[in-house]
Amino acid sequence: MTHGIVCAAQPEAVEAGALTLLRGGNAVDAAVACALTQGVVDPLMTGLGGVGTAIAHIPGHGLLENLNFLGAAPASATPDMWADRIVGETGDGFGFVLAGRENALGHQAVMIPGNLAGYWAMHAAHGRLPWDKVCEPAIDEAERGWMVRPHVYAYAIQDEAAQGRVPNEEILGFTQAGRSLYLDPDHRPGRPGTMKRPGTRIRNPDLADTLRAVAASGADALYCGELGERIVDDMLAHGGLITLKDLASYRVVHQPALKGNYRGHTIATNQPGGSGVQVVQTLKILEQFDLRGLRHGIPEHLRIVAEAIAYAYQDKRAHVGDPDHVDVPLDVLISSERAAEYARRIERGEHATLQRLESLDEPPETSQVCTLDEHGNAVSMTHTLGAPSGVMAPGTGFILNGCMGIFDPRPGHATSIAPGKSYTSSMSPSIVFDPDSALRMVLGAPGATYIPQAIAQVISNVLDFDMAMSDAVIAPRVAVTRSRTIDVSNRIPRFVTSELEAAGYAIQRSYLSYAFAGVHGVEVAGQSWRGGADPGRDGMALTV
């Protein structure tokens, strides 16, 4: 009998999810096992110190639920705490650059983490296996060690300093524990070390011990236990903001999924402060056009897609924030009337305008897992460190998030800092249903502000161009982060982009063949399942 399918960006994590299915777990168990393992084998991307969001489809209980565990600013955070230190905004609009870098590196950059609370809450509500069994694969990976993979290495050595950002090796080497775990000595002045080479095995006994405590006590280990006390003691010693009260008061938000419609299909995605609204709005705009009548990847197709992305992205930036702090006009943003108006502008050849503080590029530290089981249960979960702070509390074995750097340090904006406010995430895990309500796709992506842009394109690739999931995630994508500028994958021919330039667009060509987020997804194809793992990452899809 076939038990299910798992698709994620790390083979070790996929194996953990698949093994959990084979042991009798359901899609929720598999997703949590996969997520915990991702935190071991992709330490710059996600972990217990991060934040996330998930969509869970549990047909036996009639549930289609969004769990947002997007963290929260500490109670002592204030809207103007960094207002006098602003240098600019990152190139893709996913964070701000400060003089002194307090929001990017070190203890003040850390938001109250939500990941463990989210994993625990989803498993408690919908899991089948005992919690400690779900934790076993991650403990095993931390104890026996995992091999540095090509994407982990390539990401760690990216030259962020040339763009004015904190180098990833500096983040990994911020603490002595990080230097010992991840870096080889580098005796050049000012260098914390160099990332260990691909194939090097990294054992993390501190994280194994932490995960054993989590296996025994669940989320309480962090939010009201010894693990949380270690984090808070480290915060107090280094000027951090998080307190024991902050941890104890943190709660996961359970709510119905945000739903939209695209050509008769239901798109279920996350509520604000995630970016599911941007996915839905982009598709609502694209629905105004006969994309089937166009060939995929021709200039007119790319122009329409880029403009739809730009209008939805600008609306998200202007109006979407933590709904407990911001009045988000969802009905307006995803209305047919607004989509039709934007479509008329696109037909007239108008260009959307993005209001930006111009500055630097920002890296996509996030991970994704998609699971589907024999009973129709499905999970899409995206979780992240934001941009990791580099902080590893002594003896814990994991890096804490740097999500305070995603807040707008200017007071008065939808994403400005406020005590207890969760950050507005680009994460947008999604599940798609056919017009007869049958499950069709489960997908999501890492990739910062490129995430909702990429997910909308992959959904369109499947539904408008009849691509299998593997082909849909491989097809070259575009992105928009600046006005009148289209970012393109290096696999989009220059004879195509030259026509876009003639139409008044600047072209920003990526050196990457597989650029702009790393979409992972599974689809139901008749009586079988098919997965697609973005080749820009190290992952895979596995049916068991």
Q: Which residues are catalytic?
A: 366
Are 391 and 110 within 8 A, CB to CB? yes
The DSSP secondary-structure symbol of 284 reads H
Neighbours of 191 (CB within 10 A): 14
Closest-CA residue to 304 (of 480, 54, 493, 528): 480
Please spell the DSSP secondary structure of 470-489, one letter per residue: HHHHHS--EEEEETTEEEE-
Residue 17, classed as helix, strand or coil, is helix
**C-alpha dist (Å) from residue 266 to 64, 443, 454:** 12, 14, 18
From the number of C-beta atoms within 10 Å of its C-beta (0-12, 13-18, 19+), residue 450 rates as buried
Question: CA 453 to CA 322: how far, in whole Å?
Answer: 20
Q: Are 514 and 341 in contact (CB under 8 A)?
A: no
Asked whether 332 and 320 are in contact (CB, 8 A), the reply is no
C-alpha closest to that of 25 among 140, 141, 126, 138:
126
Task: Name the amino acid, one letter, at 285.
Answer: I
Q: Which residues pair with 356 in a beta bridge?
A: none
Q: Mind giving me the DSSP string for 96-154? A: EEETT-TTTSSGGGPPBP-HHHHHHHHHHHH--S-HHHHHHHHHHHHHH-EEPPHHHHH
Strands of 207-264 (E only): list them. 253-256, 258-262
Length of the chain, in residues: 544
Separation of alpha carbons 198 and 89, rounded Å:
33
Structure tokens at 466: 């009849």
Torsion, Cα of 42, 111, 114, 320 (10° steps): -100
Helix (H, G, I), strand (E, B) or coil at 58: strand
CA 443 from centroid of its chain's CA atoms: 12
How many whole angstroms separate alpha carbon 46 and alpha carbon 400?
Answer: 9
Look up residue 209 and give its two tokens.
């011990």
Of 521, 534, 542, nearest in space to 378 by CA? 521
Cβ contacts of 324 within 8 Å, gap of 6 or more: 420, 421, 422
- Degrees to nearest 5, angle at CA 23 with 19 and 29: 75
Which of 448, 383, 452 has its CA nearest to residue 165?
Answer: 448
